[in-house]
Amino acid sequence: MTTIARLLSEAGEQIPIREARLLLAHALGRNTAWLEAHRDDAIVAEDAARFAALVERRAAGEPIAYLTGWREFYGRAFRVTPDVLIPRPETELLVDLALQKVGAGKTARILDLGAGSGCLAITLALERPAAQLCAVDVSAAALSVARENAERLGARVEFILSDWFAALPPQTFDLIVANPPYVAAGDPHLERDGLRFEPAQALTDGADGLTAIRHITQQAPHWLNEGGWLLFEHGWDQADAARALLAAAGFEDIGQWPDLAGILRVSGGRRAVRSNALAAGRNSQ
């Protein structure tokens, strides 16, 4: 007789036992607490085979989130597929900073560049229900996942198929957030840690990792209201480049913020506000 305890023990020889519990709970449609309470229960052959297939895929490096179809972000469960980047805990810093820029009750307009699973736009829409959220992505498949998440979580977000700003109708925003592809081509991490299973276009620009950041910082001032903010995530070694690009684009009050590991992970700046005297002078010309 094959029991739950035996299956977990055998799986533990291939993958960490914690992961084995998560995958078995998923295969059985239960939770891990239920598994502990039923360790000696027999398991039918069909369920055992389903679990074995999941273990094999995990042992080959496929991320847990793709195997279960879910990843938690900012306290909510988001549906994920291989069409979208798996939400990372460090990206929650971008949410925290955005919420600081848009106070509770404010009717701000917010743009999320590179929606992916929708975790950023949906979280901001739920945390700031008075705000208007727009999110774009170049991938129709990713937008399908994002729309599903928004509907399930009850978030009001406008999703647009667009290569960054390209397909947006003329408008301006109070805040732009982005988690663009910033891994440089040839970075060994692209072939490790499960990244090889994630969509390449969401991870790397195929160049130095700064192509998208350059484009966003150069174009964002045209889409921001005066005094509006741009915030974006970047790589561990890109803080200096990010600051320089923001300065070159004319942003003021440039700031950089570390993640929980102490790595500068998010950079941003505010579009300059013209003084009344300067504005009047230009209008009189």
Tokens of 180: 């663009």
The one-letter code for the residue type at 248 is A
Model confidence band, residue 274 (pLDDT cutoffs 50, 70, 90): confident
For residues 284 and 229, give the distance between their C-alpha atoms in angstroms, rounded to a whole number.
29
Nearest to 217 by CA among 169, 258, 164, 275: 164
pLDDT, position 183: 95
Continuous H helices in the chain: 4-11, 17-28, 32-37, 45-59, 64-68, 92-101, 119-127, 140-153, 211-223, 239-248, 276-284
- Could you read off the pLDDT of 46-78 as tens digits, one per residue? 999 999 999 999 999 999 999 999 999 999 999
| 155 CB-near residues (< 8 Å, 6+ apart) | 118, 121, 122, 125, 126, 133, 149
Tens digit of each residue's pLDDT (9 = 90 or more) over 103-153: 998 899 999 999 999 999 999 999 999 999 999 999 999 999 999 999 999
pLDDT, position 283: 45
CATH number, span 87-276: 3.40.50.150
Of the pLDDT bands very low, low, confident and very high (cuts 50, 70, 90), residue 275 is low
Distance, in Å, from the CA atom of 285 to the CA atom of 281, rounded to the nearest integer, reads 7
Write down the pTM of the prediction: 0.92
Give 25-53 pLDDT, tens digit per residue: 999 999 999 999 999 999 999 999 999 99
Strand partners, 163: none
Tell me the three state secondary structure of residue 130: coil
The CA R_g of the chain, rounded to the nearest whole Å, is 22
Inter-residue contact 79 to 69 (CB < 8 Å): yes
Domain boundaries, the chain: 4-60, 87-276
Question: Residue 282 — very low, low, confident or very high, per pLDDT cuts 50/70/90?
Answer: very low
Residue 278 has pLDDT above 90, yes or no: no
Closest CA to 121 of 129, 111, 130: 111
DSSP state of 280: H
Torsion (CA) 260, 263, 265, 267 in degrees, nearest 10: 120
Find residue 70's DSSP bridge partners.
Answer: 79
* pLDDT above 70: residue 88: yes
Q: Give the phi and the psi of residue 155 in degrees, each rounded to 5.
A: -105, 140
- What's the pLDDT tens digit per position in 182-236? 999 989 888 876 899 999 999 999 999 999 999 999 999 999 999 999 999 999 9
Phi, psi of 88 (to 5 degrees): -110, 150
Please state, in angstroms and rounded to a whole number, the distance separating the CA atoms of residues 57 and 158: 35
Phi, psi of 213 (to 5 degrees): -65, -40
Amino acid at 188: P
How far apart are the C-alpha atoms of 29 and 246, rounded to whole Å? 48
Q: What is the mean pLDDT of residues 78-88?
A: 98
Sign for the CA dihedral angle at 217, 221, 222, 228 comes to: positive
Q: Please tell me the predicted confidence (pLDDT) of residue 1.
A: 72
Average predicted confidence (pLDDT) for the chain = 94
Write down the pLDDT at residue 194. 83
- Tell me how far apart the alpha carbons of residues 9 and 18 are, in angstroms, rounded to a whole number: 11
